[in-house]
């Protein structure tokens, strides 16, 4: 029998397997949300010629063990170097599954760190990890390493664009323990559901809240600073008009998505942050 099956579940009942499963489900929640500005859904490829839903599903399948594995590493108190090795191996499996297309590199980084933090919290606290505890664990265990890492010269197009424009890319966001995730995305999703929006409506409104404030390096890479600022203004205006929960909300969301595609803009960082917000709600509720 697998050793994992012999392990007494963490006092909270949130085993690394449950933490990891929540990450896979959250990434599927994001992929299946439609319409999404410029992003891949189950029915269209958005602003992408190089990937579609099948690419994302193959990528998700290749990551099916990674999130549980990195949660287990966090539960054991692994240092950042070990997490990074886990992430690099997962990126290699993703690229092998997608034929070299970058579907989830940012999600491997962001959700990988969050799963590791959840593993640490479950072992230390014996409770379902609440947002603030997750954030504290990120800072306490890997804050210094993430801060040092964010000073390294970026090697990816998004990170290079972010550095050029003085933006907070994925590495800087992680070094701050994901402020947009915990201060914008999770509250927006929670409040939308509390207002009675359906899960789909709440996720869509939350995506617009994230696009309106995130320094999404994918947008900066593809559209420059003008493209990023146009996307942020467009998302903010949609929300100021009342967001998705209006008779004309869905039609407007489709029209905005067509504008993003015309400009070849794709907010991949916002998509990952939405998935992470869905994941935070799942694990905080005990997965
Ligand atoms: C740590 C890395 C993520 C690299 O660090 P860097 O800071 O250089 O990262 P960025 O380039 O800024 O962003 C990398 C990906 O992270 C997502 N993202 C973008 N902006 C943000 C943000 N502000 N906050 C959080 N996350 C952000 C985004 O990922 C998603 O989009 C990608 C798919 O979209 P697409 O447009 O197709 O992207 P490309 O193919 O690159 O562009 P095109 O050619 O199509 O135009 C996909 O990755 C989504 O997940 C950014 O792309 C990390 O890469 C790294 O160094 N990894 C090494 C392993 C490691 O350290 N792992 C740690 C495990 S805990
Ligand atoms: N659905 C999606 N489309 C394009 N890029 C993404 N990055 C993460 N999710 C994505």
Question: Structure pTM?
Answer: 0.95
245 lines ligand 1 (CB under 6 A): no
Tokens for 150, please give them.
């964010």
16 lines ligand 1 (CB under 6 A): no
Q: What is the mean pLDDT of the chain?
A: 94
Q: How far apart are CA 151 and CA 111, in angstroms?
A: 21
Which among 132, 113, 108, 133 is positioned nearest to 123, based on CA atoms?
133
pLDDT attached to residue 56:
98
Return the ligand number nearest the Cα of 115: 1
Residues with CB under 6 A from ligand 2: 30-31, 39-40, 46, 266, 268, 271-272
Q: Measuring from atom 32 of ligand 1, which residue has the nearest CA?
A: 268
Region 187-192: mean pLDDT is: 98
User: Is-cis flag, bond preceding 35, omega within 30?
Assistant: yes
pLDDT attached to residue 133:
95
Q: Distance from first CA to last CA of the chain, Å, rounded?
A: 24
pLDDT in tens, 96-130: 999 999 999 999 999 999 999 999 999 888 778 99
Where are the chain's structural domains? Answer: 13-284
Contact present, 128 and 283 (Cβ < 8 Å): yes
pLDDT in tens, 246-268: 999 999 999 999 999 999 999 99
Region 83-90: mean pLDDT is: 98
12 pLDDT above the threshold of 80: no
| DSSP-derived 3-state class of residue 126 | coil
Tokens for 61, please give them.
């399948």
Q: How confident is the model at residue 88 (pLDDT cuts 50, 70, 90)?
A: very high
Return the ligand number nearest the Cα of 52: 2
For residue 86, give the ligand 1 atom closest to its CA. Answer: 64
Tell how far CA 109 is from the center of its chain: 9
Which of 20, 95, 106 has most ligand 1 atoms within 8 Å of CB, for mutation? 106
């Amino acid at each position: 029998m697998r050793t994992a099956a012999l392990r007494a579940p963490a006092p909270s009942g949130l085993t690394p397997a449950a933490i990891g499963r929540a990450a896979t489900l959250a990434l599927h929640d994001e992929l299946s949300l439609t319409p999404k500005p410029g992003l891949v859904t189950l029915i269209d490829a958005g602003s992408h010629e190089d990937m579609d839903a099948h690419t994302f599903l193959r990528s998700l399948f290749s990551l099916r063990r990674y999130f549980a594995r990195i949660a287990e590493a966090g539960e054991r108190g692994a240092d950042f170097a070990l997490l990074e090795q886990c992430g690099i191996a997962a990126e290699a499996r993703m690229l092998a599954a997608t034929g070299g297309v970058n579907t989830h590199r940012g999600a491997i980084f962001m959700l990988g760190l969050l799963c590791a933090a959840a593993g640490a919290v479950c072992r230390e606290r014996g409770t379902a990890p609440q947002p603030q505890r997750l954030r504290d664990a990120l800072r306490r265990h890997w804050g210094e390493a993430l801060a040092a890492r964010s000073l390294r010269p970026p090697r990816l197009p998004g990170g290079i664009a972010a550095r050029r424009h003085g933006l907070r890319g994925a590495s800087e966001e992680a070094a701050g323990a994901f402020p947009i995730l915990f201060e914008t995305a999770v509250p927006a999703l929670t409040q939308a559901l509390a207002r009675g929006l359906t899960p789909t409506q709440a996720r869509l409104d939350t995506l617009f809240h994230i696009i309106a404030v995130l320094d999404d390096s994918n947008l900066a890479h593809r559209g420059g600073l003008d493209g990023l600022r146009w996307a942020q203004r467009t998302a903010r205006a949609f929300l100021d008009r009342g967001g998705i929960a209006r008779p004309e909300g869905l039609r407007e969301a489709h029209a905005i998505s067509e504008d993003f595609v015309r400009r070849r803009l794709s907010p991949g960082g916002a998509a990952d942050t939405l998935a992470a917000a869905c994941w935070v709600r799942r694990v905080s509720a005990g997965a």
